[in-house]
Structure 1
Amino acid sequence: MENHWSPPLRTGWIAGLTLTVILIAAAVGLIVPVVTQPPSLRSFFLILGACLSFGLAIRVLYQLWGLINADYEMDRNALTIRWGPVTHQVPMGAVRAVVRGSDLTDLHILPTLRWPGYFLAVGKAQLQQEDKHQTLNPVLFFATRPLASQVVICTDGMAYAISPADLEGFLAALHERLEMGPTQDVEPYATHPKFLDWEIWRDRLALVTLAGSVTVFIALLGFLFWR
């Protein structure tokens, strides 16, 4: 039985690389006039826009790195979802339902950077099956196809939406493993980028101080350009 399943990557890669090129071109286009004119408030805003465009391009490249390292691994004991530095292990014994994305309604996605062929997000949705109505919250999306082409694995506290390239083959293999049952109990676990564990993200005073310092620095820089 096949154990590794991959999402289709082509659309996400083409769209992501195109977006990166556009952002870098925009950054260069904003910087060029600054070099040819004396410092002014207009120059300051051009530099600020270039920095934002370049920073966003780096963010897109980071997400593309996660996309190329996306993989779904499945055996009788667990489904493991890998997306760059993020890993989720879902024990087969914890699976309560397997539904298609088209069965979800009233979908709400938290704001995040997405594009065609790249659907990494967190949200919530309603699941209507016969006379049973259920709220899925949260739903973690690790997909590259639209919702209708995704499969949703539901556990007691969470749901995972994925999009293997061979959706029908994946569903057949998943149901087969669920019917066979696990050979051993495994624990659910999740990993994420190490920088998310930094203490500063839990220190509100430090975050406010950092945000204030950056704001003051940008304001002073703008004042110098204006003068």
Structure 2
Amino acid sequence: MTSELHPHRALGVLVGAALTLWCFAFTVALLWRGLTQPIDLATFGLHLTATLFFALGCLFGYWTYSCLTLKYFLDRNGLTIHWGDIRQLIPMDRIERLVPGRELPAPKVTGVSWLGHHVGHGAVEGLGEAIFYATHGSHEELLYVVTADQTYGISVTDEVQFAEQLQGHQKLGQVVSLPQVTERHSVAALPFWHDGLAQVLALAAVIGCAVTLGYVFHQYPGLPESIPFPFAAQGFGDKEALLSIPITGLGLLAVSLILGLALHALDRAVGYLLFLAGIGTQIVLLSAAIITLNQ
């Protein structure tokens, strides 16, 4: 029989939701201000800041969802911690003892950590390095699950009941031998997050797009209404047509990143090629903008 245990998550979810909404509200405010301003470098700065806050809001949203889904499953095979798309497997035969947090000094958790939600690593005096999947408000609410190789900090509503259930499952004995590992599913399982080269290439493509946008926005205010276009059939065009260059860059960047992430999971070389194609595209578009504005 499997016991499903839920920690107190309300405070962590509320704080995370507030942080998420604040980021998205700030994003909307910056975008609104940017859309009502003339096109120049300052406006580009507003859009860039809005993009950063949007990305931060997405992160807080995912972490809040993970806090909402935090739960512990206990059966005769072991303890399984669910946090978002991550599963932490702890075999029953590896669990040596339980240590209440009130018996130890308060740890400092580094990682995803805010009031009512603490997931990450931290040093615990007397136990060493620990991995935390907890929603504690005070270190006294923590319960440490100690194994030979690793310590885990969790927060259960009833420590005595948890200890009794653990002992009961240990007496039954394991049916399946579990590995002591961290499993990742869905987006968290993408190999991109563990491939430094892929991350550098993707970041370079993003920076290239930002440079193209910044260059066009910086030059735009001083341009005449009609400018020469070496690539246009008429030879001249309205300066607003110049904006099609960075807009095209944004679209192609999105395509290269999405396809790169998807195909990188199947074949790293293909993913690298798509990220490189994204970089090359941004270089070509930046060159086109420079040629157009320096005739």
Closer, same or farther in 2 for the Cα pair 1:202/1:32, shift >3 Å?
Answer: closer
Distance 1:166 1:183 in 2: 24
Deviations 1:76-132 (A, max 9, x none): 33112111211122122111221122344484533x3322111111233221xxxxx
Higher helix proportion:
2
Residue 89 (structure 1) aligns with:
89
Compute the displacement of 1:202 (Å). 4.9
Contact 1:92 1:181 in 2 (8 A): no
Structure 2 residue aligned with 1:187 = 178
Indicate the structure with greater strand content: 1
In structure 1, how many angstroms separate the alpha carbons of the residues matched to 2:192 and 2:59?
A: 21
Aligned to 1:10: 10
1:41-120 matches, within 5 Å, as 41-105=41-105, 107-110=107-110, 112-120=111-119
State TM-score, norm by structure 2: 0.65
Match of 2:134 in 1: 143
Q: Give the aligned residue type for 1:96.
A: E
Distance 1:22 1:98 in 2: 39
Once the two structures are TM-superposed, the CA of residue 209 in structure 1 deviates from its matched residue by 2.7
- What is the DSSP-based 3-state SS (H/G/I as helix, E as strand, rest coil) of the residue aligned with 2:52? helix
> What amino acid maps onto 2:136 in structure 1?
R
Q: Percent identity?
A: 27
Note if 1:164 corresponds to 2:152: no
In the superposition, relative to structure 1, how do residues 79 and 100 fare at CA in structure 2: closer, same or farther (>3 Å)?
A: same
| SS of match in other structure, 2:59 | helix
How big is each residue's C-alpha offset from its partner over 1:43-75, in whole Å with a ceiling of 9 and x where there is no partner?
111111111111111112212222222211112
RMSD (Å), alpha carbons: 2.4
Kindly indicate whether the alpha-carbon contact (under 8 Å) linking 1:72 and 1:80 is maintained by their aligned counterparts in 2. yes
Give the AA of the match of 1:85: D
Asked if 1 retains the 8 angstrom alpha-carbon contact of 2:89 and 2:183, the reply is: no
Larger mean Cα displacement after TM superposition, 2-11 or 147-156 = 2-11
CA contact (8 A) 2:44 2:214 kept: yes
Cα distance in 1, alignment partners of residues 30 and 117 from structure 2: 28
2:184 and 2:191 mapped to 1: Cα distance?
15
Query: Is 1:122 the counterpart of 2:113 in the alignment?
Result: no
Segments of structure 1 that go 5 or more residues without pairing to the other structure are 128-133
Aligned positions, number: 217
Counterpart of 1:219 (choices 211, 226, 232) is 211
Contact 1:93–1:185 (Cα < 8 Å) also in 2: no
Larger Rg: 2
Secondary structure of 2:114's aligned partner: coil
> Residue 17 and residue 196 in structure 1: after superposition, are their counterparts in 2 closer, same or farther (change >3 A)?
closer
The answer to whether the Cα contact below 8 Å between 2:63 and 2:112 also exists between their aligned partners in 1 is no
Contact kept in structure 2, 1:93 and 1:181, CA below 8 Å: no
Q: Secondary structure at the match of 2:55?
A: helix
How far does the alpha carbon of each residue in 1:164-211 deviate from its partner, in whole angstroms, 9 at most, with x for none? 223332233334544x36244522243113445545445444333332
